[in-house]
Amino acid sequence: MILYRAHLLWSASPTQLGEAADGALLVDATGRIGASGPFEQIAPHHPGVEIQDLRPLWILPGLIDLHVHLPQYEAVAMDGLELLPWLEVHIFPAEARFANVGVARQAAKCFFADLLALGTTTAVVYSTIHQAATDAAFQEAESSGIRCAMGKVMMDRHAPPALCEDTETSLQQSEELLQQWHGKADGRLLYALAPRFAPMCSPELMRGAGALSDKYDAYLQTHLSENAQELAWVKQLFPDCASYTEVYHRHGMLNARTLLGHGIHLEATERALIREAGASIVHCPSSNAFLQSGVMPLKQWREEGLGLGLGTDVAGGPTLSMWQEMAMACTASKLRSALLHEQAAVAPAEAFHLATRSSAQALGLQSRIGGLEPGLDADFIVVDPRCSDPARRTEEAAELVLSRLLYRADPRMVRATYVRGRRCSALDL
Ligand SMILES: [Zn+2]
């Protein structure tokens, strides 16, 4: 048991922050939060407990990256192409290298270490089609201490020969990995089936992936409605379906554990299908800007009651930093608002909510992660607000501090990252 003394900051609602300026976070021996709130109220109830005084540092809930591709990390920031040619030129060659397990293992080590160093405590990850590489990536996730839902990519048509699978094999290997890893490390590791997107999945593969998600209560992640060329391709491949979302709906891929990357260009009927299924859309604004895909109407989707989360979509997004992703959610929304005169822009507090509470909700893990309340797992980060402030201030209004952490994220500002109370990454404290 240990009691951390620091300025606590969390998301209290989609638009409001909660804070305890001189706060205490008690972490018990099982890695749960035993108590949190003002230090003067918490400390007297726990005499004799070791106190780690972190002032003037701040404690925030760990960030959740709801959509990221491990094998693409080495291919980040390759500018100049839109989605489909970018996949062919930069991404598929990077993914093909994961046929070598050694390459995959080394890449996974760097990937999880970098996520944790940036303050991401939970990541929902696509691996490649390779079973052995995905298994190695799970092993690295396990030893890194990160909370992770991951799955091997599934694609059985229109993929390059080196990455195109036989339908049966894809389903069988996915099921084997799922049985091996879903719920491991006391639920810290979870399986997320990953049929890449409709154009590269046969109807049988999509149906099979949906059935496995239902059978094992596992996540299902895929891409939806990202890019104009992609939309035209889906229309051509599935002429009987009224929309892109209907393709997934008809093939049993929409459920409450479904995470749909992007969801930019959606008709009202598609949004209704997603809402009815209880599925969530993962907003990836950096990727959407980088690949010139568009700007998702975040405010509107939220007002309509769609489940929402936030993801870097590396390598569509050029960095693993959820700080930059939160800033981009605000910036993209401001540009959309200014150009289209259609809605108010998203504020940092809303982006922070999206990266913590809302993403936890999309995973159905809101009683485990996303905040600092007693009973939640102790997934938290220690942040130094002086690193993002030219004047090195520490005790300012929470809104101001958060705004600078987002817009002026600095690699030194995340001083330590804890998952279930275990320190997984740290600079000197
Ligand atoms: Zn993606």
Could you tell me the CATH number of the domain that includes residue 52? 2.30.40.10
d(CA 408, ligand 1 centre) in Å: 25
pLDDT at 33: 98
d(CA 420, ligand 1 centre) in Å: 27
d(CA 337, ligand 1 centre) in Å: 25
d(CA 325, ligand 1 centre) in Å: 14
User: Quick one: 379 and 350 in the same domain?
Assistant: no
Of the three residues 362, 385, 413, the one that is the final residue of a domain is: 362
Number of domains in the chain: 2
d(CA 426, ligand 1 centre) in Å: 28
d(CA 260, ligand 1 centre) in Å: 9
User: Quick one: 220 and 93 in the same domain?
Assistant: yes
Alpha helices in 363-424 (DSSP H): 398-407
pLDDT at 344: 81
d(CA 69, ligand 1 centre) in Å: 6
What is the C-alpha separation between 26 and 378, in angstroms, rounded?
9
Could you tell me the CATH number of the domain that includes residue 261? 3.20.20.140
Residues of the domain holding 393: 2-62+371-426
User: Quick one: 85 and 52 in the same domain?
Assistant: no
Torsion 167-173-174-176 (CA) sign: positive
User: Quick one: 122 and 257 in the same domain?
Assistant: yes
CA distances from 186 to 56, 145, 206, 216, 381 (A): 34, 12, 29, 16, 21
d(CA 35, ligand 1 centre) in Å: 37
CA angle, residues 126, 132, 133, in degrees to nearest 5 = 40
Of the three residues 362, 387, 408, the one that is the final residue of a domain is: 362
d(CA 259, ligand 1 centre) in Å: 11
User: Quick one: 400 and 251 in the same domain?
Assistant: no
Question: How many beta carbons lie within 10 A of that of residue 308, not counting itself?
Answer: 22
pLDDT at 342: 81
User: Quick one: 94 and 13 in the same domain?
Assistant: no
Tokens encoding 219: 């996540």
d(CA 226, ligand 1 centre) in Å: 10
Q: Which of helix, strand or coil describes residue 150?
A: strand
Q: Scanning the structure block, which residue is given the tokens 């309509």?
A: 304
d(CA 204, ligand 1 centre) in Å: 22
> Can you give the pTM of this predicted structure?
0.98
User: Quick one: 140 and 243 in the same domain?
Assistant: yes
Q: What is the pLDDT along the chain (429 residues), one digit of tens a residue?
A: 999 999 999 999 999 999 999 999 999 999 999 999 999 999 999 999 999 999 999 999 999 999 999 999 999 999 999 999 999 999 999 999 999 999 999 999 999 999 999 999 999 999 999 999 999 999 999 999 999 999 999 999 999 999 999 999 999 999 999 999 999 999 999 999 999 999 999 999 999 999 999 999 999 999 999 999 999 999 999 999 999 999 999 999 999 999 999 999 999 999 999 999 999 999 999 999 999 999 999 999 999 999 999 999 999 999 999 999 999 999 999 999 999 988 789 999 999 999 999 999 999 999 999 999 999 999 999 999 999 999 998 878 999 999 999 999 998 999 999 999 999 998 865
User: Quick one: 388 and 357 in the same domain?
Assistant: no
Q: Which residues, in sequence order, are bridge partners of residue 153?
A: 194
User: Quick one: 29 and 162 in the same domain?
Assistant: no
User: Quick one: 129 and 200 in the same domain?
Assistant: yes
Of the three residues 312, 329, 362, the one that is the final residue of a domain is: 362
d(CA 180, ligand 1 centre) in Å: 24
User: Quick one: 14 and 149 in the same domain?
Assistant: no
User: Quick one: 377 and 324 in the same domain?
Assistant: no
d(CA 312, ligand 1 centre) in Å: 9
